[in-house]
Structure 1
Amino acid sequence: MIALLIAGALSMLYSLLLTPLFIRGFQKLRWGQFIREDGPKSHFAKRGTPTMGGLIFISGSVFAYFIAKLIAGESPTPSALLVILMTVGLGLVGFIDDFLKTRKQQSLGLGGWSKIAGQVAIAVLFGVLSLQFANASGLTPASTHISLFRDLPFDFMSLGAVAGLILFLIWIVVIVTAASNSVNVTDGLDGLAGGASILALGAYTVIGFWQFSQQCARGLEPGCYEVRDPLDLAVIAAALVGGLVGFVWWNTNPAHIYMGDTGSLGLGGAIAALAILTRTELLLVVIGGLFVIESGSVILQRIYFKITKGKRIFRMSPIHHHFELKGWAETTVVVRFWIIAGVFVLSGIGAIYAEWTVAQ
């Protein structure tokens, strides 16, 4: 418990106090934000604002996690290290994309397929490693079962060792690419993706701690959870929450810095990893409900545009831009979307508790 509190507090102080130094450094390096030409005209004033701010809260979260474990006299666990691998790995993919944007002086960095290839590579590495490192009870960080509140009966390995492993890795790739791209799509207004991610990651902090208190290893039956290292998953989730809280202080409207793809892809990866390792993969659709709406609006817009040969459902997608063009102030859109994200998160946590009470 002490590691959880230290990780969250230390990560928040890191981002809150050091972000101004990072901003000055990024300005010297000319790492400025580029604005899409077809976007809302009000966004043109944001051109040149420092980007790649994901480097701040990702580095701060990793630093805080290891310091917290050191102070608490505990060793890092494979599960938390896998979350770090996913966060840093996808953050690196995003950093390359951001760096190319600043270098080319345009709003396009990595090509779409190149970005997907990077996400797939990290997801496959994560998937393979997540089935290693069994503890004394034989639990590995991830399970080959599909999960909702806990593992469901269906096991990919029931289809055969080779076919099962391939389908399991495809499942991991789908979750990771969907989550990371959805957070990336949501990152279009000052503080929107950061605030929504705080809520989602906060949910996994609560879930990890709850699963720790109800572990089957404690001899609690029924309704207990078979999860490896749930408390340490809560610790790394708390570190990410703290880092984001400190960052969003500087990222709210008018933003002094943006997280860039470095931050949004890293955050999406972290959320996906936590869903997989807490055995709540399908519940991610609820906990990340706002991200689902954002990415869904883009998909619907494109499908409708092609079917109707030029007509649109929304004035602009993702959907947050639709409300901007309807006349909503940017801060109004952000706060109302935070509220929506909060409702989804509370619904997800409530569903977990309701399922546990039924299992008793």
Structure 2
Amino acid sequence: MLYYLSFLKHDISFLNVFSYITFRAGGAIITALLIVLFIGPAVIRKLSSYKIQQYQRDCGPASHLSKHGTPTMGGVLILASLLVSVFLWARLDSPYTWILTFTTIMLAIAGILDDYTKLVKKNPAGMPSWVKFSIQIFTSFIVVLFLTMYPPNAEFAFKLSIPFFNNFIINLSFFYLIFAMLLIVGSSNATNLTDGLDGLAAGSMVLCAGTYAIFAYLAGNFNFADYLKIIYVPGAGEIAVFLCAVVGACLGFLWFNTYPAQVFMGDTSSLFLGGVLGVAALCSKQEILLPIAGGIFVIETLSVMMQMFYFRVSGGKRLFKMAPLHHHFELKGWPEPKVTVRFWIIGIVLTLISLASLKIR
């Protein structure tokens, strides 16, 4: 909304700063961060008063039993601060603003319903899996339908650009639509699986969303895109503004979620944060970069898949002490903060590798 103040630049020259993507991206980070810090204590107290608290299952690590009673559904902090920040700093006439907002709201609804069923209705299984997947599939279908009708770059609508290679393009044709839906649903669930230690998911999201904010900004600038040999996406700067709001919201949430956590995000935000990453990857035409920049989420998901597969083919044996992978290291004796920080370090390295792909082509 503040972008439109730049229309008055002929009367008040200072207002021209609101036309700059970098200025609005910085404003989005700070706004979302301050909103979470300001309303966080009150929201946490309210969640505690409503007894919306985490229930730790006996099958989890024994060290997590002390977390019983910690308020959850704290993802409402991320959701509220993100939407307010986006409304203030993003261009409301940008289709990317609205498709990312649509993804956020739809997957937030799925997460809230799941958390509500678990925590308020006291059903540990949550809402039926088919309901959650139906919402995810419907959301991804609408996003892919939109991107088919209004592709970020018509020349590369159904094509994938391979990082680290110059002009290495793969044309998936019709299969791109299936790939795109799987990317959104997969990234949504991957983030959900990673949300198991204090600060792990939020910190990893800061790194991944920040990386994609940089790529989106560069893709939206013709000169930068041409020089760096990445696909040019007109208007992609608004994706960067949106993702910077995500970064700010997650940084603010980390203030309360770092070990020992005062609040957990729950499915309320973990589902939509991952989904937003998937949509941002599609809109910025950097789909193949996601498994690198979001490598932590990929590793966590693969560990669950490998555990299930090995359990079945080995007749009940386990490949890891527990899945997702962060629990494996906990049971090996690593303190929870050490697991989180070491995963963050891996995430930083993956961020640097992702950024290096801009020059290694």
The question of a shared fold, defined as TM-score above 0.5 by the shorter chain, is answered with yes
Equivalent residue letter for 2:276: A
**Once the 2 structures are TM-superposed, how far is the Cα of residue 352 of structure 1 from its aligned partner?**
2.5
Count residues with an aligned counterpart: 338
Change (3 A) 1:219 1:325: closer
Offset of residue 145 of structure 1? 2.1
**Are 1:182 and 1:292, in contact at CA under 8 Å, matched by a contact in 2?**
yes
How far apart, in 2, do the equivalents of 1:40 and 1:224 lie?
44
Higher relative contact order (CA 8 A, sep 6+): 1
1:4 corresponds to 2:18: no
- Report what 1:179 is aligned to: 187
- What CA deviation, in whole Å up to 9, does each residue of 1:260-302 have, x standing for no partner? 0111111101110111111011111101111111111111111
Q: What is residue 110 of structure 1 aligned with on the other side?
A: 127
> What's the secondary structure of 1:282's corresponding residue?
helix
Alignment of 1:30-109 (within 5 A): 30-69=51-90, 74-109=91-126
Matched, 1:128 2:145: yes
Q: Hey, what's the Cα distance between the residues in 2 that align with 1:142 and 1:75?
A: 25
> What SS class does the counterpart of residue 359 from structure 2 fall into?
helix
- Structure-2 change in CA distance of 1:44 and 1:222 (3 Å): closer
Q: Is residue 164 of structure 2 the alignment partner of residue 146 of structure 1? A: no
| 3-state DSSP of counterpart to 1:240 | helix
Give the drift of 1:314: 0.8
Contact 1:181 1:268 in 2 (8 A): yes
State whether residues 205 and 237 of structure 1, in contact with CA within 8 Å, keep that contact through their aligned partners in structure 2: yes
> Are the aligned partners of 1:209 and 1:230 in contact in 2 as well (CA < 8 Å)?
yes
**3-state SS of the aligned residue for 1:131?**
helix
Aligned-residue sequence identity (percent) comes to: 33
Residues 29 and 245 in structure 2, CA contact (< 8 A), matched pair in contact too: yes
Runs of at least 5 residues in structure 2 that lack an aligned partner in the other structure: 1-21
Question: CA contact under 8 A between 2:54 and 2:71: conserved in structure 1?
Answer: yes
Partner in structure 1 of residue 16 of structure 2: none
Distance 1:10 1:151, change over 3 A: farther
- Structure 1 Cα separation of the partners of residues 335 and 226 of structure 2: 50
Equivalent residue number for residue 276 of structure 1: 282
Does the aligned pair in 1 maintain the 2:56–2:67 contact within 8 Å? Answer: yes
Describe the superposition over 1:123-176 as per-residue Cα deviations: whole angstroms up to 9, x where unpaired: 001111223347xxx84699322343499644444xxxxxx2xx3432222101
Q: Is the 8 A contact 2:28 2:89 kept in 1?
A: yes
Contact 2:72 2:265 (C-alpha < 8 Å) held by counterparts = yes
Quote the Cα distance in structure 2 between the aligned partners of 1:141 and 1:77: 20
Cα displacement string for residues 17-49 of structure 1 (whole angstroms, at most 9, x for unaligned residues): 111111112122221112222001111121221
Distance in 1, matches of 2:228 and 2:270, equals 38
Whole-Å separation in 2 of the counterparts to 1:141 and 1:275: 17
Question: Which secondary structure does the structure 2 equivalent of 1:354 belong to?
Answer: coil
Distance 1:151 1:270, change over 3 A: farther
The structure-2 alpha-carbon separation of the partners of 1:141 and 1:125, relative to structure 1 and needing over 3 Å to count, comes to farther
Shift of 1:205: 1.3
C-alpha distance in structure 1 between counterparts of 2:32 and 2:162, whole Å? 30
- Counterpart among 329, 335, 350 of residue 335 in structure 2: 329
Q: Secondary structure at the match of 2:344?
A: helix
CA deviations on 1:303-340 (whole Å, 9 max, x unpaired) are 11111111111111111001111111100000001101
Shift of 1:8: 0.9
CA contact (8 A) 2:162 2:169 kept: no
Q: Is the 8 A contact 1:34 1:106 kept in 2?
A: no
> Which letter maps to 2:99?
L
C-alpha spacing 1:120/1:141, structure 2 compared with 1 (3 Å): farther
Distance 2:278 2:211 in 1: 13
Aligned 8 A contact 1:145 1:152 in 2 = no
Deviation at 1:194, TM superposition (A): 0.5
2:206 aligned with 1:198, yes or no?
Answer: yes
Unpaired runs of 5+ in structure 1?
158-163, 356-360
2:46 pairs with one of 6, 11, 25? 25
Q: Is the 8 A contact 2:29 2:246 kept in 1?
A: yes
The aligned amino acid for 1:104 is K
Correspondence for 2:178: 170
* Equivalent in the alignment of 1:160: none
Q: Which amino acid aligns with 1:338?
A: W
Distance 1:322 1:28 in 2: 34
Tell me by how many angstroms 1:80 deviates: 2.2
Instruction: Say what the alpha-carbon RMSD is for the aligned residues.
Output: 2.2
Distance 1:224 1:332 in 2: 37
